[in-house]
Structure 1
Amino acid sequence: MYLNIGIGQINPKVGDLSGNFEKILKAWKELDKSSHLVCFPELALTGYPPEDLLLRRDFLSDCKKYLDNLLKKSKDLTSPCLIGIPLYKGDLYNAAFLLYKGEIVGAYYKRYLPQYGVFDEKRYFKKGDNLLFFAVNGFNIGVSICEDIWYPSGVERIYALAGADVIVSLNASPYHKGKYEFKENLLKARAEDNQCYVVYVNMVGGQDELILDGRSLVISPEGKIIARAKVFEEDLLVISIEKKKVCSGRLLEPRLREESSSEIPFVKGIGIKKELPFFEGKVFKNPEEEEEIYLALKLALKDYFYKNGFKGVILGLSGGIDSSLTAVLAVDALGKEKVKALFMPSEFTSRESFEDTRELAKNLGIPLIEIPITEIFHSYRETIKKTLGFEDFTVAEENLQARIRANLLFYLSNREGLLVLSTSNKSESATGYTTIYGDMAGGFAPLKDVYKTLVYRLARYRNSLDPVIPERIFKKAPSAELRPGQRDEDTLPPYEILDEILKLYLEEGLTPSEIIERGFEEKTVNRVFHMLKIAEYKRKQAPLGPKITRRALGKDYRMPVTNGYL
């Protein structure tokens, strides 16, 4: 006795109810051919997170209309469908609906609403207190939504004690480095503890700062992965699960007997009378860390570009590692025909930067426009001298060059409808080693959450596939080239030290004194924290960029600008 479960790992666009409806319907029809039950992610109709769209009554009304349309379409399909859609019913719920033959068989309202990190669900939703327990072809199935499954004594345990063979968890779970491994182990534990199958249905796609990685899973009662969908791609997955595995496990290890059984209202038993073949689950391979992060950034840029309807992108190439990696990433994500580069040398630009920039553009096959800024810069300085009387060369003159370059980039952006890519990285943004309205300016910052040391690792990974970035770019000392002989380490600690201090604070929550106890110089630690603090006003005006670490300098870093504490 087996049940075929179809997983629609889709990439919806937030707010595009019509487009998402068509995507869902197309996937449902395809999965219907081989499934007894079809499952879609949390908030599949709206995309995730819909944020303050959920405060618009017209939006919620339209969600209901598309739910009704799905009900009409379900009459022509043979398989029931689990899908996440918001529901306003006296209050707003993050809901999962079971649809079958024109009927809402039942609904589940998410119980645990996350309010930390990038999550803000208590702003929008009311906590649910109901359950959705049903059967398809003799398999007892319980439903939960995302955060619910992170609690070991949550609804999954209630379902298991009531005799669930399968727990289906609908998710829109954002990615960050290292999260998947933790999540996989957690889900294995839920399957083993409850002696049932866990079907983990995840969304995929880029949404502003967030990346959803897909990798939907089916885990056996023994805690083994028997199916894993693709990473950072849409996927339709079908797997057959067997009831005998649940029965045998509970007979051999009757642990659940020792706990009080739960009485849950049984919504409905659905019999699907169609002969279907048995499907072994596909288990797609997990990428190594550098490849995983690169694929995440690529998806984030691609989705931001296409979902917002841009025609092309433009970025400034400098001959440095950050702009080089950004250019390669843009070509990989969008194709070379969508990418244009601007090289804006000054009197401080080295010969090596000229050569390396031209070589990179040639290797990528992208147009390189060269606009020297020396005359523009001196024109500014002459005007400043005449009107303000300033002749000395200070950091203001350095930043002026960066702002001239930003003006030229945004001129072409404005004229040709191009998205400006900022090339700033996390190390620069954290310390303020970037010019506001200059090199940090842009419409999207692909490297916003990428430490400088990781920039080099990602560039090395990409060059291992095809060595498009000139080797000299890896070897020369990082420099903004805004004054003679300038090097980043004239202003910043070495990146190996800086990035480690930032990680210990941002991702592990250590205090300055605790970081010093780890062996870092007190003067250096205090200096980094001071730079981090005074740069907050810059970061509040920075472009969006994808989150790839546990704590990015975006939604999940909410420091006040006016702040009297170190």
Structure 2
Amino acid sequence: MTAGWGARVRLRIEQFAPALGRVDANLTHVVRAQADAAAEGVGLLVTPELSMTGYDVRDAVHALAAAESDAPYPTMLPGPDVVLGTIERDAAFVPYNAALHLRGGRVLHRHRKVYLPTYGMFDEGRWFGRGDGVRAYDAGGGWRVGLLVCEDLWHPALSWLLAAQGANLLVVQSAAAGRGVVAGGASGGRFASWGAWEHLARAAAIAYGAYVALANRVGVEGPLCFAGGSMIVAPDGSVVARADDLNPDRIDAELSLEAVAAARRPYAHARDDDPRLVARELARMLGEG
């Protein structure tokens, strides 16, 4: 594996429309994107949720699931780190919606989606096993990263748990569908539903003094029209890069630990947070139940 990052790192979100069920084609797309990123000084390339398989997999979930492995990822280059979205199965053959942080082609960290939306147009609880935790991890150079997948961001306890473990970069993969249109939006007609995602990302950035990189996808699968609009949010809550709503796009931002430190100086949230209090109150609530 490569040595990791420095105090500054360039992050790129590769917003695209993964082809449903075509792992080889999607991997080829990401490898080409990684080569472009290497030539342009990018240190971390982030792809959307289930970028290797497409989203609406249904009964194909088992055929598309790869066995969990820490062996080098097929054909992945030794260039910039890549966060992939894929389906992994465990030793009991349960498939999971997984985010993999690859470095030098090997898995540096994996996160399995905890909250599986099974409401409205979504039916993930039928197809996937549920992840059982979140862990922040070291990426080098003082960076601690936390991975989330889509619905996970809607459950603020997960972001807080990562922040409590020292995360200063939250990477969120999503396959968020668009609902409604606001005429005259920032790019000529933004999906009405995307405003809530921006609020969630900016709130997490401000509360914890962390970068939030939200990589969404575009395209259409069956009844789902995906909303694009990927964004990179700075630790002060400002949106420093935003992708197109409907089309494939690439957005970059240079992340710095200096910006993390500057965003945390006016506050003392990390100092004053008390995980033991939270643990005691949760134990009391669960005991009363």
- TM-score class, shorter-chain normalisation, is 0.7 to 0.9
Question: What SS does the aligned partner of 2:147 have?
Answer: strand
Whether 1:42 aligns to 2:39 is no
Name the counterpart of 1:179.
193
Which of 218, 222, 244 is equivalent to 1:208? 222
What letter corresponds to residue 84 of structure 1 in structure 2? G
For structure 1, the 5+ residue unaligned runs are 263-566
Name the counterpart of 2:188.
none
Which of 210, 213, 218 is equivalent to 2:232? 218
Whether 1:99 aligns to 2:79 is no
The answer to whether the 8 Å contact 1:31/1:238 transfers is: no
Which of 24, 28, 36 is equivalent to 1:30? 36
Which of 131, 136, 141 is equivalent to 2:134? 131
Shift of 1:216: 0.6
Residues in 2 aligned to 1:149 and 1:197: alpha-carbon distance in whole angstroms: 14
Residues in 1 aligned to 2:197 and 2:237: alpha-carbon distance in whole angstroms: 13
Residues in 2 aligned to 1:259 and 1:172: alpha-carbon distance in whole angstroms: 32
Shift of 1:21: 1.6
Name the counterpart of 2:262.
248
Name the counterpart of 1:13.
19
Question: What SS does the aligned partner of 2:197 have?
Answer: helix
Whether 1:198 aligns to 2:205 is no
The answer to whether the 8 Å contact 2:71/2:107 transfers is: no
Shift of 1:235: 1.2
Name the counterpart of 1:77.
78
What letter corresponds to residue 144 of structure 2 in structure 1? N
Residues in 2 aligned to 1:40 and 1:136: alpha-carbon distance in whole angstroms: 20
Shift of 1:141: 1.0
Residues in 1 aligned to 2:140 and 2:217: alpha-carbon distance in whole angstroms: 24
Whether 1:142 aligns to 2:149 is no
Given the superposition, is the C-alpha separation of residues 192 and 98 from structure 1 closer, same or farther in structure 2, using an over 3 Å criterion? Answer: same
Which of 1, 8, 11 is equivalent to 1:2? 8
Given the superposition, is the C-alpha separation of residues 120 and 59 from structure 1 closer, same or farther in structure 2, using an over 3 Å criterion? Answer: same
Question: What SS does the aligned partner of 2:241 have?
Answer: strand
Identical counterparts, % of pairs: 27
Residues in 1 aligned to 2:33 and 2:115: alpha-carbon distance in whole angstroms: 28
Residue-by-residue CA offset, 1:62-105 (whole Å, 9 max, x unaligned): x459x99972433x422111111011102221111111223222
Shift of 1:125: 1.3
Name the counterpart of 1:482.
none
RMSD value, Cα: 2.1
Residues in 2 aligned to 1:184 and 1:176: alpha-carbon distance in whole angstroms: 14
Q: How does 1:222-241 map to 2 (within 5 A)?
A: 222-241=236-255
Could you list the runs of 4 or more consecutive aligned residues of structure 1 that deviate by over 3 angstroms after TM superposition?
67-70
Shift of 1:213: 2.0
Whether 1:52 aligns to 2:59 is yes
The answer to whether the 8 Å contact 1:218/1:225 transfers is: yes
Residue-by-residue CA offset, 1:518-544 (whole Å, 9 max, x unaligned): xxxxxxxxxxxxxxxxxxxxxxxxxxx
What letter corresponds to residue 49 of structure 2 in structure 1? E
For structure 2, the 5+ residue unaligned runs are 1-6, 181-191, 277-289
Q: Which has the higher helix share?
A: 1
Residues in 2 aligned to 1:165 and 1:59: alpha-carbon distance in whole angstroms: 33
Q: How does 1:154-553 map to 2 (within 5 A)?
A: 155-177=158-180, 178-260=192-274
Residues in 2 aligned to 1:5 and 1:40: alpha-carbon distance in whole angstroms: 11
Q: Which has the higher strand share?
A: 2
Residues in 2 aligned to 1:127 and 1:35: alpha-carbon distance in whole angstroms: 32
Residues in 2 aligned to 1:12 and 1:2: alpha-carbon distance in whole angstroms: 30
Tell me the TM-score normalized by structure 2: 0.82
The answer to whether the 8 Å contact 1:8/1:28 transfers is: no
Residues in 1 aligned to 2:140 and 2:46: alpha-carbon distance in whole angstroms: 13
Question: What SS does the aligned partner of 2:146 have?
Answer: strand
Residues in 2 aligned to 1:212 and 1:92: alpha-carbon distance in whole angstroms: 23
Residue-by-residue CA offset, 1:213-269 (whole Å, 9 max, x unaligned): 21110111221110001221111222101211211222320122221359xxxxxxx
Question: What SS does the aligned partner of 1:71 have?
Answer: coil
Question: What SS does the aligned partner of 2:27 have?
Answer: helix
Shift of 1:111: 0.8
Name the counterpart of 1:451.
none
Name which one, 1 or 2, has greater alpha-carbon Rg. Answer: 1
Residues in 1 aligned to 2:72 and 2:12: alpha-carbon distance in whole angstroms: 17
| Count of aligned positions | 255
Given the superposition, is the C-alpha separation of residues 32 and 261 from structure 1 closer, same or farther in structure 2, using an over 3 Å criterion? Answer: farther
Tell me the TM-score normalized by structure 1: 0.43
